[in-house]
């Protein structure tokens, strides 16, 4: 059985609020409905471990874990799943060892495996857009090099005790979870850097004209 989820707009913020405020925000998100298209990533809360080196071969595997205490996210990218990360004791809405596999071919696909644990599933479904956004952001340079894989269909498999109970859900395409907007301090820094660059280039041009 397949269901389709709407793509999300991902906003990047370079600094996260204090942990206590983050926890309050998590509680608030469980009570107050959030826009179906908005996901916010805090860059300093994401740690990426890439073991692929220069390898571009498929399948490409992702291991994502999450700490409830600090709201930190840990993404491992490799040709195999990160067994060390799977063995670590991490708790939270995003279960320890959320696994995803990117495959190519005529119909490239990113398959995400999630345990179907009854009441916990509803909370997990709300966090899946964040998980997908972290995967796309953490491996963004690879997807930029391979735009055809950026269009890979995202299929989330909720695995229950028996094969007949497995349910697949469509979650759009990988590119739907790319960073589409930069907010907060990072936006101001980018504007400021652009302005300084423009001033520097202008001064260089004027200086060369005066020296003629």
Q: Dump pLDDT digits (tens) for 147-162.
A: 999 999 999 988 766 5
pTM (two decimals): 0.71
Higher pLDDT, 115 or 195: 115
Per-residue pLDDT tens for 118-137? 556 666 777 889 899 999 99
Residues contacting 168, CB < 8 A, separation 6+:
1, 2, 155, 156, 157, 158
Task: Supply the angle between the helices 119-138 and 19-31 in degrees, to the nearest 10.
Answer: 130
Cα→Cα distances 155→49, 55, 96, 152, 173, Å: 23, 24, 19, 9, 9
- What band does 146 get if pLDDT is binned at 50, 70 and 90? very high
Q: How far is CA 24 from CA 36, 66, 162, 185, in A?
A: 20, 17, 37, 22
> Where do the DSSP E strands lie in the chain?
2-4, 9-13, 38-42, 46-50, 60-66, 73-78, 98-103, 109-115, 153-159, 167-173, 179-182
92-119 mean pLDDT:
78
């Amino acid at each position: 059985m397949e269901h389709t989820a709407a793509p999300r707009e991902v906003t990047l913020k370079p600094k996260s609020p204090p942990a206590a405020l983050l926890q309050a925000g998590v509680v608030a998100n469980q009570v107050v409905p959030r826009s179906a298209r908005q996901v916010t990533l805090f860059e300093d809360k994401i740690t990426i471990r890439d073991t692929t080196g220069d390898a571009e071969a498929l399948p490409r595997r992702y291991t994502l874990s999450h700490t409830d205490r600090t709201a930190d996210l840990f993404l491992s990218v490799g040709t195999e799943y990160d067994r060390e990360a799977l063995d670590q004791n991490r708790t939270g809405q995003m279960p320890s060892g959320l696994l995803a596999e990117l495959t190519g071919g005529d119909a490239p696909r990113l398959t995400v495996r999630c345990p179907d644990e009854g009441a916990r599933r509803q909370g997990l479904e709300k966090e899946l857009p964040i998980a997908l956004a972290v995967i796309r952001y953490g491996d963004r340079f690879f997807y930029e090099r391979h735009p055809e894989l950026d269009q890979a269909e995202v299929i989330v498999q909720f695995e229950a005790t028996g094969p007949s109970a497995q349910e697949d859900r469509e979650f759009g395409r990988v590119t739907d979870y790319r960073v589409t907007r930069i907010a907060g301090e990072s936006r101001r820094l980018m504007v400021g850097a652009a302005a300084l660059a423009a001033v520097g280039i202008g001064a260089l041009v004027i200086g060369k004209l005066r020296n003629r």
